[in-house]
Amino acid sequence: MTTSATGHPEVLPPARWAVWAAWAAPLGVLPSSVWRVAAGFGNGHTTTESVYMLFLSIAMVGTAFLTVGLVSRWGEVYPRWMPRVAGRPVPARTVTRIARIGGWLLVVIILYGVLNNIFGFVEEGARLIDQDKEFEQPPAWVAWLYLPAAPWGFLVLAVAGDYARRMAGRAPAAKARPRSGAPTGV
Would you state the pLDDT for residue 135?
63
Domain count of the fold of the chain: 1
Question: Is 71 part of any domain?
Answer: yes
Task: Let me know if residue 112 belongs to a domain.
Answer: yes
The answer as to whether 184 is a domain residue is no
From the list 102, 14, 93, the residue with the least C-alpha distance to 62 is 102
pLDDT in tens, 153-186: 999 999 999 999 999 876 454 444 444 554 554 4
What is the C-alpha to C-alpha distance for residues 161 and 152, in angstroms, rounded to an integer?
14
pTM over 0.95: no
Q: Residue 150 sits in which domain range?
A: 16-126+140-167
Domain membership of residue 5 (yes or no) is no
What does the pLDDT look like over 93-144, one tens digit per residue? 999 999 999 999 999 999 998 888 888 888 766 665 666 666 677 788 888 9
Q: Domain for residue 135, yes or no?
A: no
